[in-house]
Structure 1
Amino acid sequence: MRILFIGDVMGEPGQDMFVETVPVLKRSLHPQLTIANGENATRGRGINETVYKKLLKAGADVITMGNHTWDNREIQDFISSTKKLIRPANFSAGQVPGMGHTIVNVNGVKVGVLNIQGRVFMNPSDDPFAVAEGLISKLEKEVNVIFVDFHGEATSEKEAFAWNFDGRVSAVIGTHTHVQTNDARILPGGTAFLSDVGFTGPYDGILGMRRNSVISRFKNQMPTRFEVETDGQQALGAIMIDVDDRTGRAKKIKNIRVDPDHPYME
């Protein structure tokens, strides 16, 4: 099985880049499952139903979230009625709407998709290791393939999580920092790992935001409103993973960058 995972879709520019590029990637790479992180998809914070459906129509099979899950209140109206949109499983258990995982049937193969958020330099949440242990223990009885989107700031936390569950999940791919890392590997137990897949959106912004506002904040520490950069060039960060359907072990992992400095050649 081939899984394509697209990094954090950022605002309207990210939506446009997703709609334009993902169909090209799918025609070229032929993934059986396409997952995207959509926690920044609507105006840079959260997601609404219109954008959610737009990403599905453009090729996403499952959409994961992160620390900006609740920044757009409209998500509360539909997240509990769909199995294709999941939020971090270690948000306060039983206190918030939606689910932290889903199971997708891909050509007769059941795939578990799990969303987890880190605690280091992030908003408070339940223990990601303990919550994941409970969910993975249950998923192992139902599926052979388990994909984890670990939404976190600290590389060490993401690595620790991947090593802790090596051999029990097919992949642990990091999101949140919007900068694609160069540490893609398959751990000894067969778990594919990447600290961060990067993001999809404004290539000429700073992590997708307007440069002047971000630079001003660093220079003077004054409160500044961050807005998505809408001018300039666009980028897409992704990862491709090949997994053995029977064992759930990853066989191949490959970084994908599409931007003016890394044009995609079909």
Structure 2
Amino acid sequence: MRILFLGDVMGRAGRRAISERLAGLRTKLKADLVVVNAENSSGGRGATAGHAQLILESGADCLTLGDHAFDQKDMMSFIDKEPRIVRPLNFARDAPGRGATIISDTRGRKALITQALGQVFMSRPYDDPFSALDAVLRAHPPGGMVQAVLVDIHAEATSEKMAVGHFCDGRASVVVGTHTHVPTADAQVLPRGTAYLSDAGMCGDYDSVIGMEKTEPMRRFITGMPRDRFTPAEGEATLSGVLVETDDKTGLAKNIQPVRDGGRLSQTHPA
């Protein structure tokens, strides 16, 4: 199975790039399954129902969210109606929606998509991501009832993301980090067969401060004083993520390659 995962969609620029280029990118990369993190697709904070639907209609098979999962209030009800959207497993006990879902690819093969929030440096304490993931992975071993398992670890600290990767090694097809919006250079297949990347980066304008128009973040760093609201940058977006190829029998990864399409970080597409 060829799985394309794209990092946090950032505002209007990210949505525009997804709507205009995702279908073509999917075809070019021969992706069987596309998963997109939609965490920041609506003004940089959460996703509205309409924006989530736009990303799905543009070629995504499943969306993950993050710590801003319910910043847009209509997602509270929409997520219960749309099984292709995953919020973090450990968000809150009574949160609406689901922390894991099973999606079929273009050939009918099944993949489990799940997400957890980190605890280190996050805005509020969340439940333990390791125990939350352990329960789901025990129930859905790759190569069994599902042919692949993807884990989105939405966290600040690279150390915590790496720990999750090794915790899931041999139990998931791919573990990929989101949330910090900067693509890392550590794409690898771990010793027991799990593809890993600390952060997929964002689908947004990289002439920015992690997707936000530069002026206000720079003012706050320089002066320590806020003046205006953060607003997403609206230049040409780079679609950032990874392409992972898995073995259907074992559910483990055969290879992982970074994807950077368009904008400032554009590179040659993997074969």
Fold match, TM over 0.5? yes
Instruction: Give the match for residue 82 of structure 1.
Output: 82
Please, which of 160, 163, 173 is the counterpart of residue 160 of structure 1?
A: 163
More deviation in 134-143 or 96-105?
134-143
Which whole-Å CA distance do the structure 1 matches of 2:103 and 2:173 have between them? 14
Instruction: Give the match for residue 154 of structure 2.
Output: 151
**Contact 1:242–1:252 (Cα < 8 Å) also in 2:** yes
The number of equivalent residue pairs is 264
Cα drift, residue 261 of structure 1? 4.1
The answer as to 2:137 corresponding to 1:136 is: yes
Cα drift, residue 210 of structure 1? 1.1
Instruction: Give the match for residue 30 of structure 1.
Output: 30
Partner AA of 2:208 in structure 1: G
Which whole-Å CA distance do the structure 2 matches of 1:139 and 1:163 have between them? 17
The answer as to 2:211 corresponding to 1:208 is: yes
Cα drift, residue 262 of structure 1? 4.2
**Contact 2:238–2:264 (Cα < 8 Å) also in 1:** no
Which whole-Å CA distance do the structure 1 matches of 2:240 and 2:38 have between them? 13
Please, which of 206, 222, 226 is the counterpart of residue 223 of structure 1?
A: 226
**Contact 1:203–1:259 (Cα < 8 Å) also in 2:** no
Instruction: Give the match for residue 242 of structure 1.
Output: 245
Which whole-Å CA distance do the structure 1 matches of 2:87 and 2:195 have between them? 21
Partner AA of 1:256 in structure 2: V
Instruction: Give the match for residue 128 of structure 2.
Output: 127
Which whole-Å CA distance do the structure 1 matches of 2:73 and 2:55 have between them? 19
Partner AA of 1:55 in structure 2: I
Please, which of 185, 190, 193 is the counterpart of residue 190 of structure 1?
A: 193
**Contact 1:172–1:194 (Cα < 8 Å) also in 2:** yes
Cα drift, residue 222 of structure 1? 1.5
Superposed CA offset, 1:162-203 (max 9, x none): 111110110100000100000000001100000000001122
Cα drift, residue 265 of structure 1? 5.2
Q: CA RMSD in A?
A: 1.4
Instruction: Give the match for residue 261 of structure 2.
Output: 258
Show structure 2 runs of 5+ residues with no match.
Answer: none
Instruction: Give the match for residue 105 of structure 1.
Output: 104
**Contact 1:63–1:86 (Cα < 8 Å) also in 2:** yes
Cα drift, residue 221 of structure 1? 1.5
Show structure 1 runs of 5+ residues with no match.
Answer: none
3-state DSSP class of the match of 1:147?
Answer: strand
Superposed CA offset, 1:94-119 (max 9, x none): x1101001001222322100111101
Which whole-Å CA distance do the structure 1 matches of 2:71 and 2:7 have between them? 19
Partner AA of 2:125 in structure 1: P
Which whole-Å CA distance do the structure 1 matches of 2:12 and 2:197 have between them? 26
% of aligned pairs identical? Answer: 40
More deviation in 196-205 or 105-114?
105-114
Which whole-Å CA distance do the structure 2 matches of 1:144 and 1:21 have between them? 27
Which whole-Å CA distance do the structure 2 matches of 1:142 and 1:27 have between them? 27
Superposed CA offset, 1:55-85 (max 9, x none): 0111000000001111111101210111101
With structure 1 as the length reference, what TM-score do the two structures score? 0.95
Which whole-Å CA distance do the structure 2 matches of 1:241 and 1:132 have between them? 20
Which whole-Å CA distance do the structure 2 matches of 1:130 and 1:79 have between them? 24
Residues 1:260 and 1:80: Cα distance change in structure 2 (over 3 Å): closer
